[in-house]
Amino acid sequence: MKKIFLILSFILIILSSCDRSGVFEEFVSATPYEFHVIAVSDAADVHLKPISGVTVQLFRTEAQRTAGTPIYASMVTGSDGAAVFTESILNPNKNIDEAKGFYYLKLTKDGYKTSYATSRYLLINDGHTHQWVQMLP
């Protein structure tokens, strides 16, 4: 019993003497939410070539994407190949439960080149999410 008491005392002394000072990250401000869809010509990381003028359409279900309606949001990529969907576009009703989840993407260029993708599960809460989609020839 004395041995157990000595071991526990030793552990408590060690734990209480640990220096807990230091720099801790503190949440200062929220980063506005954005979903960046970037259209590229090559899937290899070293050859990413952005494509401008691609129409990016977002749908809430795969069936809606197949039918082509209703489109949840749509945007055309800029010179950097990105279409940036902000929180106000993805969450217009200010109801996070309606906005979070998967998005089904349809990318079209020149009316005939089409690529499909599914987003990761988006929480629509803080920060920027990027998704690169290869446009098939």
In tens, the pLDDT along 54-76 reads 999 999 999 999 999 999 999 99
Number of domains in the chain: 1
pLDDT above 70 (res 102): yes
- DSSP, collapsed to helix, strand or coil, labels residue 64 as helix
pLDDT of residue 122: 92
Angstrom distance (rounded) from CA 120 to CA 130: 10
Torsion, CA 40, CA 44, CA 49, CA 50, rounded to 10: 30
**What confidence tier does 13 reach under pLDDT thresholds 50, 70, 90?**
low
Asked whether residue 27 is domain-assigned, the answer is no
Write out the residue range of the structural domain in which residue 109 sits. Answer: 32-134
Mean pLDDT along residues 102-122:
92
- Nearest by Cα to 54 from 86, 81, 72: 81
Asked whether residue 11 is domain-assigned, the answer is no
Asked whether residue 52 is domain-assigned, the answer is yes
